[in-house]
Amino acid sequence: LGLLYQEYRDKSTRQEIETRRLQDSQTDPEESSPSEEAPSEAEPASTTESKAPPQISLLRNSNSRFNLWQDLPEIRSSGVLSILQPDEIKLQEAMFELVTSEASYYKSLNLLVSHFMENERLKKILHQSEAHILFSNVLDVMAVSERFLLDLEQRVEENIVISDVCDIVYQHTVNHFSVYITYVSNQTYQERAYKQLLQDKPAFREVISQLELDPKCKGLSFSSFLILPFQRITRLKLLVQNILKKVEEKSDRETTALDAHKELETVVKACNEGVRKMSRTEQMISIQKKLEFKIKSVPIISHSRWLLKQGELQQMNGPKTSRTLRTKKLFREIYLFLFNDLLVICRQIPGDKYQVFDSAPRGLLRVEELEDQGQSLANVFILRLLENADDREASYMLKASSQSEMKRWMISLAPNRRTKFVSFTSRLVDCPQIQCVHPYVAQQPDELSLELADVLNILDKTDDGWIFGERLHDQERGWFPSSMGEEILNPKIRAQNLKECFRVHKSDDSQRRKLGSRSRQ
């Protein structure tokens, strides 16, 4: 097995991007061949390789390279490619990728443990508590991956044509994948501990640098190994989605794929919530300490509250009729803390503190954009509090530093306000789409982190280079720079992406309809 998971994943997603680019440039999405559509992770297999069953040579021979299922010598010599339909070949490729990528992932996990965690020099430097925070329950995660991989191997050994893998994914997700939630929930403390160790312990820094230089690591950083479990559980869900898009509708394989996807989605959401819960609690405590109330105090810390956006805006002074006056003195700085259920309006005071002078429930906020008001009133919008801290309606005329910042505030303050382009969940026939070609890490709470090959619907965009998008595979929304992606111009490809998305999430839609029916009753 020649590729570490980081390399495997990078090759796979970049191939996915190139495949979509090719499809986007064609009139008919079906014009691309099966070999173009399936991700190719490595060089073609050597014809001099052992003629043992392909799953054994791939998963146990440390010198082999990953390849397309249909390019394996064993598959080509069997004659099965002349019997199978093109759609079935695509499905075989999708299932084969899930198996081979798990093997690559297991190899990387094994390197994290044997090369880093069990290094004798590192053991002497780290206290037991430090090692526990840094590596968490990675041994449990590796044991689960090994058991999962063995079951996948056994299935591949049963027949040269893979019958199914999603039933195995389902069983392991339900019975074993909770170890991922434990590992990922520790991520905030893990990152902090790693930074602290690098800063406080020169010996630790030196050993890690030396271990990273070892050819085994192929130039990859220690931190890229630590984040493997979170990347894998997310990617596994996408691999099952890819299988689900290719199985025949209303078949047993579709049922198992839907079941596996639903369980994986539950685990991924629990992982995300675990990470958010840790960081949100600390963030809320920090904000609480900075606030001083000029009005009646509002308790900020709540287990169900988190920060959506914070920042400075310019508030216009005087009555609304004076807005035609063109002078900078009309505006003064205010600072907003917007939570998922509450808006707090403040003025910054000395000592990194904020004096609260108004507040309102988020559900009682309305926004209105001002247009064609001249340069001095560009990027100005009206914020209305239907019921503020004094139990009365209040209006604020606010000026943002840019068009994108104004739109970001307006969408955050009033999330149900109609955007420029409607979400795909409205079953719109066509909607602008973009695919991510550069990864992006969110810098603000209202931004969306992007992975290579993510496909998103464009809900809104600004003239200064920002897009508000909704990712198709999980419906997560947020802002990101438009330079991170390439717009999908072919309407047939956009329609195909939406159709596949509806199919993946149809079990979720069915469940929502059932719940809605019960609530109406």
Name the nearest CA neighbour of 434 among 502, 499, 480, 476: 480
Better pLDDT: 55 or 148? 148
* Total length of the chain: 521
User: In a 3-state reduction of DSSP, which class is residue 138?
Assistant: helix
**Residue 296 is encoded by which pair of tokens?**
């009646």
Q: Which residue has the tokens 């609480």?
A: 288
Name the nearest CA neighbour of 96 among 55, 45, 37: 55
For residue 92, the model assigns a pLDDT of 95
Domain edges within the chain = 64-286, 294-319+329-413, 424-514
Better pLDDT: 487 or 370? 487
The one-character DSSP state at 348 is E
434-455 burial string, b = 16+ CB within 10 Å, else e? bbbbeebeeeebbbbebbbbbb
So what CATH class is 64-286?
mainly alpha
CA–CA dist 112, 217 (Å, integer): 9
**Strand extents, DSSP E, 95-216:** none
Average pLDDT of every residue of the chain: 85
Q: Given a cut of 80, is residue 218 above it in pLDDT? A: yes
- CB–CB of 336/313 below 8 Å? yes
Q: pTM of whole model > 0.75? A: yes
pLDDT in tens, 388-433: 999 999 999 999 999 999 999 999 998 776 655 655 444 455 789 9
- Scanning 342-462, the segments in alpha helix (DSSP H) are 403-413
Q: What's the pLDDT band for 49 if we cut at 50, 70, 90?
A: very low
- CB–CB of 211/115 below 8 Å? yes
Instruction: Summarize the confidence of residues 157-176 as an average pLDDT.
Output: 95
Lowest mean pLDDT among 75-84, 274-283, 317-326, 448-457: 317-326
Counting beta carbons within 10 angstroms of the beta carbon of residue 501, is it exposed (0 to 12), middle (13 to 18) or buried (19 or more)? buried
pLDDT in tens, 322-346: 455 454 457 899 999 999 999 999 9
Give the DSSP per-residue string, 186-255: THHHHHHHHHHHHHH-HHHHHHHHHHHHSGGGTT--HHHHHTHHHHHHHHHHHHHHHHHTTSPTTSHHHH
For residue 198, the model assigns a pLDDT of 96
What percentage of the chain carries pLDDT values higher than 90? 64
Q: Given a cut of 60, is residue 132 above it in pLDDT? A: yes
Q: Is the torsion defined by CA of 233, 234, 235, 237 positive or negative?
A: positive
**Residue 398 is encoded by which pair of tokens?**
């606010």
Q: What is the CATH number of domain 294-319+329-413?
A: 2.30.29.30
Q: Given a cut of 60, is residue 201 above it in pLDDT? A: yes
| Cα-to-chain-centroid distance, residue 28 | 29
Structurally, at CATH architecture level, domain 424-514 sits in Roll (2.30)
